[in-house]
């Protein structure tokens, strides 16, 4: 079944839309270029996604495209709602899955969707150009249990500390979500072939938060990432007392820069400075 939902930019890789004539391109060619669509064409990559996601219950899929992952999710036992902006692809997938109660196709932008109230997961081969928007949507959804996202490999590595540094997005959400880097999926697994490799990024909601003061924790982290004085110590001392003792308890060097502080150390800092 297909529904109209919303319209907006939606692509797997960074948008490369060009104004002007389309030459001899077909509508499908123009859609692939304007939306930079790169479809999973490797069964093994699909299997890696299913293994990482362990889908069950309600699953929302951003950008199902031709439906390779959609059908695999349904076969694994999930009830899938796919959000596809390209009306041509949405219509084709809706026709292909007509009569399959496990699959619903929504014509529209996933990031404009209202999050379900019941527990649900997000699984998708997502657009590189709107990765941050999709991740932010997932982090804000109260009933989200997990998100298994095929993203640009560099993005997945940055968000999971694989470069030895940690980002604000990860640290700020760490008490509520575990971030994990999964398998690499090479560029040759897609058609057309993109210019970079992908990786599976797994976000899983913790059974119990690591802190119980969201606002105070996020204020602490945001101050630390504010960059005052060039070190975490210098930033935190502008507002908090007992910073040196808190750093020692967390095992953070006095001259540590913010990116080198592990999220678990931030939890300890919050416990010492904010409780």
Q: Is position 144 annotated in a ligand binding site?
A: no
Tokens of 112: 């404009």
Q: CA geometry: angle at 42 spanning 38 and 48, to 5°? A: 105
Q: Is position 109 annotated in a ligand binding site?
A: yes
Q: Is position 84 annotated in a ligand binding site?
A: yes
Q: Which of 149, 116, 154 is nearest to 135 (CA)?
A: 149
Phi and psi dihedrals of 240, rounded to 5?
-110, 150
3-state secondary structure of 146: strand
Q: Are 166 and 261 in contact (CB under 8 A)?
A: yes
Q: Is position 4 annotated in a ligand binding site?
A: no
> Which element (helix H / strand E) includes 152?
strand 144-152
User: Which string of DSSP letters, residue by residue, matches 238-269?
Assistant: TT-SSHHHHHHHHT--TT--GGGS-HHHHHHH
3-state secondary structure of 161: coil
Q: Measured between alpha carbons, how far is 26 from 28 in angstroms, rounded to an integer? A: 5
Q: Extract the annotated binding site.
A: 38, 40, 63, 84, 109, 125
Q: Extract the annotated binding site for S-adenosyl-L-methionine.
A: 38, 40, 63, 84, 109, 125
């Amino acid at each position: 079944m297909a529904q109209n939902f919303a319209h907006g930019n939606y692509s797997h890789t960074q948008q490369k839309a060009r104004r002007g004539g389309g030459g001899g391109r077909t509508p499908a060619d123009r859609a692939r270029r304007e939306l930079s669509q790169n479809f999973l064409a490797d069964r093994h990559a699909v299997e890696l996604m299913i293994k990482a996601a362990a889908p069950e219950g309600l699953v929302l899929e951003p950008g199902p495209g031709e439906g390779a992952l959609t059908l695999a999710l349904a076969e694994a036992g999930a009830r899938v709602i796919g959000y596809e902006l390209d009306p041509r692809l949405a219509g084709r997938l809706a026709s292909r899955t007509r009569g399959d109660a496990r699959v619903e196709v929504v014509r529209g932008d996933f990031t404009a969707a209202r999050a379900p109230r019941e527990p649900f997961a997000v699984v998708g081969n997502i657009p590189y150009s709107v990765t941050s928007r999709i991740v932010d949507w997932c982090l804000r959804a109260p009933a989200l249990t997990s998100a298994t996202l095929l993203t640009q490999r560099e993005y997945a590595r940055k968000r999971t500390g694989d470069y030895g540094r940690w980002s604000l997005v990860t640290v700020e959400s760490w008490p509520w979500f575990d971030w994990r880097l999964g398998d690499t999926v090479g560029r040759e697994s897609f058609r057309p072939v993109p210019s970079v490799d992908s990786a599976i990024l797994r976000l899983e909601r913790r059974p119990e938060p690591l802190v119980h003061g969201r606002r105070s924790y996020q204020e602490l982290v945001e101050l630390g990432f504010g960059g005052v004085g060039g070190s975490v110590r210098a930033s935190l001392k502008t507002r908090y007392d007992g910073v040196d003792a808190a750093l020692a308890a967390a095992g953070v060097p006095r001259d540590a820069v913010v990116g080198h502080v592990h999220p678990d150390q931030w939890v300890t800092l919050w416990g010492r400075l904010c409780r």
